[in-house]
Amino acid sequence: MEQFFYTETMTVMNADADFRSLLKPSALLRYVEQISTDHARAFGMDDQFFKDRGVTFLVGKQALKFDRVPQRAETLTLTSRAQVSKHGSVKRITTLTDAEGKEVAMVDCRWIVASLAEGRILREPGWTVENFWNDTVEDELPLQLHKCKDGLTSAGEWTVHYSQCDLNGHLNNAFYLDLVCDALPLEVMRKGPVTFASINYHREIPMGETAEVFYAPSADGWYVIGKHNGQTSFECYLEVGKTNV
């Protein structure tokens, strides 16, 4: 069956590259956040659209995978597809291809629709948009976290600053990965780029507030958890240190 999709190109900016001149994982999530917004706006779902309906989209969890981490100044084609809401979750798959048409990365993002007036999650959107949703989007990434309860090391407390916040005054979804990478020991991050990450957002961290972050080795990578006001704010599993293909 023909898939409905949205596509655009982006170039890896200097500010989005790390000390290896490779795309940061957080920047990849920002690119996906932008194309998701652009896709919705192209079909009439802009800020006023959601304001009129008293709803918003929130990211519940997402995962990313690099087959090859793009380099600074590289131009990429992003292709994004959204699936109809199932069990209260909207799956959006975004792939990135290079100039030769080879897939270099994928992001699997699970959105939820929330009622601002009622403060609850909606099972499905209260509207339809022709040629926007797909009945099924086959691709997906593993979203498991390989949790650890023992052997956690504290990376200290982290305060959410102005430059890290989103439109709602909370830590931006993409910046959680910056926090995670900064929390891990430098010798870990020096081994190589992040090649896989899965993150689950439990509770938002408002601007000016603080979370304590813990980490531990797990499976083939690292498990990182952040706690705010005594409750789990986020959990992340990521793999690092593999050479770039």
Q: How confident is the model at residue 54 (pLDDT cuts 50, 70, 90)?
A: confident
Same fold, 6-134 and 153-239: yes
- What's the chain look like in SS3? CCCCCEEEEEECCHHHECCCCEECHHHHHHHHHHHHHHHHHHCCCCHHHHHHHCEEEEEEEEEEEECCCCECCCEEEEEEEEECCECCEEEEEEEEECCCCCEEEEEEEEEEEEECCCCEEECCCCCCCCCCEECCCCCCCCCCCCCCCCCCEEEEEEECCHHHECCCCEECCCHHHHHHHHHCCHHHHCCCCCCEEEEEECCCCECCCEEEEEEEEECCEEEEEEEECCEEEEEEEEECCCCCC
Q: How confident is the model at residue 244 (pLDDT cuts 50, 70, 90)?
A: low
Contact between 209 and 200 under an 8 Å Cβ cutoff? The reply is no
C-alpha to C-alpha distance for 34 and 40, rounded to whole angstroms: 10
87 pLDDT above the threshold of 70: yes
227 pLDDT above the threshold of 80: yes
Q: How confident is the model at residue 242 (pLDDT cuts 50, 70, 90)?
A: low
Angle between helices 25-42 and 175-183 (to 10 degrees): 170
pLDDT value for 146? 96
CB atoms within 10 A of CB 192: 16
CATH class of 6-134: alpha beta
pLDDT value for 125? 80
pLDDT tens for 134-188 read 999 999 999 999 999 899 999 999 999 999 999 989 999 999 999 999 999 999 9
Mean pLDDT calculated for residue range 186-192: 96
Q: Which residues, other chains included, contact 107 with Cβ-Cβ below 8 Å and sequence gap of 6+?
A: 28, 29, 32, 62, 63, 64, 65, 93, 94, 141
Domain borders along the chain are: 6-134, 153-239
pLDDT value for 22? 98
pLDDT value for 56? 86
**How many Cα atoms sit within 13 Å of 1 on the Cβ side?**
9
Overall size of the chain counted in residues: 245
Please state which architecture CATH assigns to domain 153-239.
Answer: Roll (3.10)
Closest-CA residue to 66 (of 33, 29, 38, 41)? 29
Contact between 227 and 192 under an 8 Å Cβ cutoff? The reply is no
pTM value > 0.85: yes
pLDDT tens for 2-23 read 789 999 999 999 999 999 999 9
